[in-house]
Structure 1
Amino acid sequence: MNRQFNRWALALAVAAALAGPAQAQTGDQAQASPAVSGNTTVHLIRLLVEQGVITEEQAGALMEQARREARAEQEAREPDVREGDVRVPYIPETVRDGIRAEVKEEVITQAKEENWAAPNTFPEWVSRVEWSGDVRVRNESRFRANDNSDLVADYQEWNDTEYDISVPNVFPPLLNTRQDRENLLRVRARFGLEADLGKQWRTGLRLATGSSDSPVSTTQTLGGGLSKKDIWLDRAWISWHPGIWTFTAGRAKNPFVSTDILYSGELGFDGVSAGWNDVSVGEHGAFFGTLGAFPLGYISDDFPSDEQNKKASEDKWLFGAQLGIDWRFQEDQRFLAALAYYDFDNIQGQRSSPCPLYAGYQSCRSDWSAPAFMQKGNSVFLLRDIVLEPGNEADTAMPQLVGLASEFQLLDINLRWRTPLFNDYELSLAGNYIHNLAYDEDEMFERSDGLILNNFDTNGELESGADAWMVHAAFGDDLDLARAGNWQVFFGYKYIEPDALPDAFNDSSFHLGGTNAKGYFLGGSYAFTPDLSARGRWLSAEEVYGQPLAIDVLQLELNARF
C-alpha cells in the first residue's frame, strides 16, 4: 500500500513540475512559490521510471512535453526582435560558474609557468639565482717590540724591484719591525651569486675588495685621499653534482678541511677538484674525500723573451688529496678527523746557469722559479749566477731574485670536536698538525750552492724546521652566532717552524703572515642580529728561530652579511 502511495505521490509531483512553467503567477505568488526547475523535472521523471510508475515510452513523452512548454514560455518572454538587434542566448548560472572556474585555472597555470602572474616580478631565470654578500669594517692596530731586529728583509719587494746586491751601503728592501701602526681603519666587501643551471650543474662568481692581488687578503685599508677602492675577481667557477660527488673547475673556495695555519680563510683555489661525501659508516658516521689540482704558476710562453732558444715548460702546481670521517654521536655532538697530503710541485727555487747580464740579457734562465708571492719566514737563496763583466768586475750590476730553498710535501692532520654543555652552552675543540716530508737541509744547501740568506743563528748555523701545529678552543651559547644575543669566546696557540709550509698562503693577521712564528690569540664575538655581529681579537706572536721579531695585533670589527 505504501509503495503504491509513493508512486502516486511521485506522479503528482511530476504533474506539478510540468504545470509549473505554464501557469501564470502573480508577483506575490511567484515569490512565495517559485517554479520547479527543469533539472528537478528530469530527476522526478527518471525516479518514476525507476519506481515502475510509468514506462520508458511514457517518460519520453513527458520529457518532450516539458521541452515544448519551456520553449513556448521562453519565446513568450522574449521581446520582439528587430533588424540590427543582437540575440544573446541565456546561459544558466551553473554553466557560467563552471566556465569561469575553468578559465581561471588555465590562466593561473599559464601565469605561474611564464612568471607574469603579478606586476613587478622578475624573469624565470632570476628564481634560479642566489645572491649573497658581506661587509666587514675593522679597526686594526699593530704593535712591534722595540728590541726587534731592524734588518729583516722584505723578499717580496726584493723580487719586485730586482734588488742590486752589487751597490755598496744600500740595504735591500726591509720590513718595518719596530714602529707601531695604530687605528688603521680597514674594510672588506664581497658580493657574489650562484646559479642553478639544471641537471645538477651550478655556477658562481664573486667580486671582492683588496689593496693588491695578494692571495691571502681581500681587506682594503681606507684613506688614500678618499680615493675609490679596488675590486677584484675573487671567485668564478662551474660545478657538477652527480649523486655524492662534486666536481668543480675555475677559481673556487678551499675544497679541503683545513685551518688558517696553512691556508688563509680568504684564499681562493684556481684549478679543478673532485669531492665526495655522505658515504655512511654505521648509523652516525660518514666518510668524505677530496682530490684537487691547482696551478700556482706557468712559465711565460716566450721565456726568455730576448733569446732564440726558449725555456721548456716549467709549471708550478699544488696537488692535494684528503680523506676524512665526520661522526655525529648525537644531532648536536660532532667529531671530525681528516688526513691530507699536499704536494707543492716545482715551487722550490733553481740556481741559474752562468748568466752574463752585462751583455744585454734581460733575465736569467731560472727566473721563472721565483715565487709569485711571499709573506715571510721561508728560507730563501739567490737564484741568479751572474757573470762578472771582464775588465769591469767591480762595477758589474748584479740585480738578483730569490727563491725558496726547501721543497714542500705536507702531511696535514685535522681533528675537531663540538659538543653541547650545561644550560645550552657549546664547546668546540680543534687541533691541526703539519709536517713537511720533503724538508732536507743538505738538499737545501746543494740546491742553493750554499747561498741561503736567512734563518741562521749567531754561529752561522741554519735554524729552520719542518713542523707546525695549532690548538683552538671556543665556548658560547651558539658558536654559529645564528640568533640575536648569541656570543662566544675563543683561545688558541700556533707554532710554525720556518720551512714547515709555504709562507705565501696562510693567515695574514697572525705575526702579519708567514712562517717562523709562535704565539697565542684570543677574543670573542657577539651577534646583534642573525646577520650582524661584532668581534674582537688579540694576536700575540714572536719568532721561532733567528732574529727577534715580536708583533702583536689588535682587531675590532663589525661583520654584516646578506
Structure 2
Amino acid sequence: MNRQISRWTLAVAVAATLAGPVRAQTPEPETPSVSGNTTVHLIRLLVEQGVITEVQAQGLLDQARRDALAEQRRQPQVQEGDVRVPYIPETVREGIREEVKEEVMAQARRENWAAPNTVPDWTSRITLSGDVRVRNESRFLADDNSDLIVDFQEWNEDKYDVRLDDDTLPPLLNTRKDRENLMRIRARFGLEAELGKQWSAGVRLATGSSDSPVSTTQTLGGGLSKKDIWLDRAHIRWTPGAWSFTAGRADNPFVSTDILYSDELAFDGVSAAWRGTGMARGGGFFGTLGAFPLEYLSDDFPSDEQNKTESEDKWLFGAQLGVNWRFTDQNSLLAAVAYYDFDNIRGQGSQQCFLYLDYQTCDTDWSAPAFMQKGNTVFLLRDIALEPGNEAATAQPQLVGLASEFQLLDINLRWDTSLFRDYQLRMAANYVHNLAYDEDEMLEHSEGQIYNNFDFNGELESGSDAWMLQAAFGEGLDLKRSGDWQMFLGYKYIEPDALPDGFNDSTFHLGGTNAKGYFLGGAYAFTDRLSTRGRWLSAEEVYGQPFAIDVLQLELNARF
C-alpha cells in the first residue's frame, strides 16, 4: 500500500512541478540543461516506480530541453548572480498532466489500489462463461425404410430374451414415422478459476435428456416438468510454458471432426498437449497425448457369486502430431495425424453360464458396451445353458458386444484463405481408417454369433473406412462479430466398423455408423453474442436394409 501511495504522490508532484515555473537555485551553464532540476528527478522516480515508461520520460526531458533553449535565446545574456525562471508553455503542461493522469489511473484500476477493498480478491481470479441454444428440430424418415432395425442399446438394458419359440421382437428403432417440430434446448454454464502461477481449474454444468455422452440437448415438453442438470466438465490444468497438462473431465484435446467424436463429447482422464512456435507468421507444430478410462469393472462383479472377476477396464489411448502453418498473411493450413487405440472394448464370449439356477450374470457381461448408437457389427455374448428337460422354456436373456477391435488412424486437413472484401473460405477433409478391422477374424472371434450387418446371401457386410469433405464460405466464419455470416456444405461416408458408434455426432443419421450423405446450411450473427443457424442433413445406409433419415434444424445461439 505504501508503494501505491508513493506512486500517487510522485504523479501529483510531477504534475504540479510541470504546471508552474521552476526557479533555478544557481546560474545555468551556457548549454541549456535540465539534468539537475527537480522536474527531472521526479520524472526519473516515476519511471522507477513504473508509472510511466522510459520512452515517455525521454519525451518529457527532450521537450524541457527544447523549451529551455528557446527561453534562453529570448532572454538577455545571463550574468553571474542572476536568477533565471524557465518557462514551460501551457499546452505542454496540460498534455503532460493528462498523460500522467491516464497512466496512473489505468494502473490503479488494474491493481485495484484506486479504490481498495471495494471488489473481493477472488473475483479477479474467476472467469464465468455460458451459452444457451433454442432449437426447432424435425426428423423425416423414408416410407420404404426397413422396420426391423434393432436398438441394441435398449437390448442390453433390457437383456432381450432370444428364445427361438418366443414371438416377441427385440427392441426396434422408429424408422418410418416422422417427428416434426421438436422444441429442444441446451444450456451450459462454466467457471474457470486461476489457482496461482500456471495452475487453473474448471467446472461446467449442462442440460441433457439422459447421461448420453454425445449430447447435452434436452427436448421440451414432458408436462412442463423441470429439466435435468448434469456435471459436464470438472478438471485441473497445469500450463508450464508451451505444455498443458489436464486431469479430470475436460474438452476434447485432439484436432478432430464429428464423424469420430461429437462436438459435445467430454474426455474423462488425463492429457498432455504441446504447442510449439517458431514458424513464420505465428504458426507452429503441436502434439497431444491422452489416456481416458471408458469403463471400470465394478468391484463386486459378479455380485451374486463368491469368486469375483479381476479388473477388466476399458481405455482410450490417443496420440496426435500436427502443424498449423500460416504460409502467407491470407492463407493457413492445419494438418494433423492421430492414432487412437480403444483398448478392451471388444466383446468377449462367455463360458457356459447356468442362468436357470438363478444366477444373474455371465462371466463376460462386463464386455457389453456402456453406450451405443447404431451401426457397429455386434454378436451375442452369453453362452446360456438350457435346463435339462425344459430346454424350450429356458429363459435366454442376452447381451451383445462389439465384434471388431478398433485401432484408428485419423487424418485431418483444413485450409483457410481470405478472399476479396474480407470474405473467407475454409476447406476441410477428414479420413479415418480402422487398422484392426478383419472380417475373417471377427467371424472367428464371435464363434458364429454375429447378429447384424449381413447381406441377403448371409455374408458379413461391413467396412473400415470413414471420410468427410466440407467447405464453408462467408465473412467471419467464427461468428464473433455482429453481421458475420457463413454458408457451408459437406459430405460424410462412414462404414459400419470404421469407428466405435457410441461417440460421434448424434444428428447425422441420428448418430452412429453405417451412414452416408450430405449436409448444408448457413448461419448469421445478429450481435457479437447472438447468432442463428439452419441445417439440413440427409443420410442413408451404406450397407444393409434401407434406412434413410433427413433432419432439419433451426436454432438461436446465445453466449455470454
Which region of structure 1 is more displaced relative to structure 2, 444-453 or 430-439?
A: 444-453
Instruction: Look up the equivalent residue of 2:129 and give its one-letter code.
Output: S
- Give how far 1:135 is off: 0.2
Other-structure match for 2:455: 457
- Give how far 1:478 is off: 1.4
- Give yes or no for contact 1:114–1:124 (8 Å, CA) kept in 2: no
- Give how far 1:278 is off: 2.1
Question: Where do residues 175-324 of structure 1 align in structure 2 (5 Å cutoff)?
Answer: 175-281=173-279, 285-324=283-322
Other-structure match for 2:375: 377
- Give yes or no for contact 1:115–1:124 (8 Å, CA) kept in 2: no
Kindly name which structure, 1 or 2, has the bigger radius of gyration based on alpha carbons: 1
- Give how far 1:546 is off: 0.3
Instruction: Look up the equivalent residue of 2:369 and give its one-letter code.
Output: P
Deviations 1:186-232 (A, max 9, x none): 00000001011111001001000000000000000000000000000
Runs of 4+ in structure 1 off by over 3 angstroms are 108-116, 281-285
- Give how far 1:379 is off: 0.2
- Give how far 1:360 is off: 1.3
* In the alignment, structure 1 residue 150 sits paired with structure 2 residue 147: yes
TM-score, normalisation: structure 1? 0.79
- Give yes or no for contact 1:115–1:123 (8 Å, CA) kept in 2: no
CA–CA separation in structure 1 for the residues paired with 2:107 and 2:341: 56
- Give how far 1:314 is off: 0.5
Other-structure match for 1:125: 122
* In the alignment, structure 1 residue 494 sits paired with structure 2 residue 502: no
- Give how far 1:126 is off: 1.0
Other-structure match for 1:396: 394
TM-score, normalisation: structure 2? 0.80
Give the counterpart of 1:512 among 510, 513, 523: 510
CA RMSD across the alignment: 2.1
For structure 1, which runs of at least 5 residues remain unmatched after alignment? 1-42, 48-107
Deviations 1:332-359 (A, max 9, x none): 4210000000000000000000010011
Deviations 1:31-68 (A, max 9, x none): xxxxxxxxxxxx99x99xxxxxxxxxxxxxxxxxxxxx
**Matched residue SS, 2:276:** strand
**Matched residue SS, 1:126:** helix
CA–CA separation in structure 2 for the residues paired with 1:116 and 1:163: 70
CA–CA separation in structure 1 for the residues paired with 2:478 and 2:280: 27
- Give how far 1:285 is off: 3.6
CA–CA separation in structure 2 for the residues paired with 1:333 and 1:453: 49
Instruction: Look up the equivalent residue of 1:159 and give its one-letter code.
Output: N
- CA 1:384–1:116 in structure 2 vs 1: closer, same or farther (change >3 Å)? farther
CA–CA separation in structure 2 for the residues paired with 1:113 and 1:210: 41
- CA 1:115–1:361 in structure 2 vs 1: closer, same or farther (change >3 Å)? farther
Number of aligned residue pairs: give it.
Answer: 460
* In the alignment, structure 1 residue 139 sits paired with structure 2 residue 136: yes
**Matched residue SS, 1:394:** helix
- Give yes or no for contact 2:281–2:327 (8 Å, CA) kept in 1: no
- Give how far 1:110 is off: 11
* In the alignment, structure 1 residue 525 sits paired with structure 2 residue 527: no
- CA 1:305–1:423 in structure 2 vs 1: closer, same or farther (change >3 Å)? same
Question: Where do residues 92-107 of structure 1 align in structure 2 (5 Å cutoff)?
Answer: none
Instruction: Look up the equivalent residue of 1:213 and give its one-letter code.
Output: D
Other-structure match for 1:22: none
Other-structure match for 1:340: 338
Instruction: Look up the equivalent residue of 2:322 and give its one-letter code.
Output: G
The share of aligned pairs that are identical, in percent, is 74
Instruction: Look up the equivalent residue of 1:216 and give its one-letter code.
Output: V
- Give how far 1:283 is off: 6.0
CA–CA separation in structure 1 for the residues paired with 2:545 and 2:217: 29
- Give how far 1:281 is off: 4.0
- CA 1:275–1:111 in structure 2 vs 1: closer, same or farther (change >3 Å)? closer
**Matched residue SS, 1:125:** helix
Other-structure match for 2:162: 165
CA–CA separation in structure 2 for the residues paired with 1:524 and 1:110: 45
- Give how far 1:115 is off: 7.1
